[in-house]
Amino acid sequence: MSKKKSCKNPQADTKNPNKGTSGTNKTWDKVQGNKGKQMNPNQKSQGNKQLPKCPICKAPVKANNMKRHIRNVHFENCPICDDLVRPNNMERHILNAHEFESKIYNVRQEHNIYNDYKKGMKIHINFSIDNLEEVDCCIAAYFSFQNGETIGSMSDDFITTNGQAVVEKCFSPPYESTRYNDLQLFMPYEELYLAEGYHHHCQFEIQIYINNTNVVIAKSQPYGFSYKKSIHCVAEYFYR
């Protein structure tokens, strides 16, 4: 009975093609065969080959994770009914599937008010909101010059993504029909990006919207005030 040849020096065999002989080196053959497979540009990963593709983004996803992938990556929950909706269809869904209403009855402003050692203006808003019980909403005052040009802000806490000065507050109506008699917003004068020593004719507009959406449910007329930025930050205001 012949004995199976043992590989005494496998490291040497991987580098020995047995040139000039009629014999073959199985260790060399196996190394070259695997190397060719690895260098083949058409070689595909065995793991991704059998994975189905997401019908939306075409990414390979395990079959038992497909529903979770589509739900978490491609859909968001409606803030009102909690239905799954594509993000680019969220505004259309909210406006078509739900009926709600909000009215702004009165806006009043106070100037030269101190809050946390900062001097500024306080805005009082009287409004109602219906059919948005326990839905996250926001009310905001957007600042601009009376010629329509936006006013910037000195910090990231009082500025929108397009660079407009804003002060806002989030709230959730506790009832199906809720009335707010005096919701207050405070804007520090130092946050308004205005040139010092000049008399500025400014205004602000109140908007109420559903949080994390572009759905505005109420908007006020502009309310004007004049402002001269100085060391003392003194402001005078008037209604339009």
Query: What are the pLDDT digits (tens) for 177-207?
Result: 999 999 999 999 999 998 887 888 999 999 9
* Residue-level pLDDT at 78: 87
Domain 101-237 bears CATH identifier 2.60.40.10: yes
* Residue-level pLDDT at 48: 46
* 18 token code pair: 């047995």
Lowest average pLDDT, out of 6-10, 53-57, 177-181, 205-209, goes to 6-10
Contact 129, 152 (CB under 8 A): no
* Residue-level pLDDT at 240: 46
Greater confidence, 141 or 84? 141
* Residue-level pLDDT at 121: 94
Question: Which amino acid, residue 209?
Answer: Y
Residue 159 pLDDT > 90, yes or no? yes
> Taking the CA atoms of the chain, what radius of gyration do you get in angstroms?
34
Beta strands in the chain (DSSP E): 76-77, 84-85, 101-115, 118-130, 137-145, 152-153, 166-171, 177-188, 192-193, 199-210, 216-219, 223-228, 235-237
Instruction: Please report, rounded to a whole number, the percentage of residues in the chain having pLDDT higher than 90.
Output: 45
Question: Is residue 67 very low, low, confident or very high in pLDDT (cuts 50, 70, 90)?
Answer: confident
Contact 113, 122 (CB under 8 A): yes
Residue 45 pLDDT > 70, yes or no? no
Greater confidence, 109 or 41? 109
3-state secondary structure of 53: strand
Question: Is residue 5 very low, low, confident or very high in pLDDT (cuts 50, 70, 90)?
Answer: low
Over residues 122-138, the mean pLDDT reads 96
Contact 229, 198 (CB under 8 A): yes
* Residue-level pLDDT at 58: 79
Can you list the alpha helix ranges (DSSP code H) found in the chain?
10-13, 26-39, 46-49, 66-74, 90-97
Over residues 165-176, the mean pLDDT reads 96
CA-based nearest residue to 216, from 140, 105, 123: 140
* Residue-level pLDDT at 88: 84
Domain with CATH 2.60.40.10 in the chain: 101-237
3-state secondary structure of 68: helix
* 19 token code pair: 């040139």
Contact 229, 197 (CB under 8 A): yes
Contact 110, 121 (CB under 8 A): yes
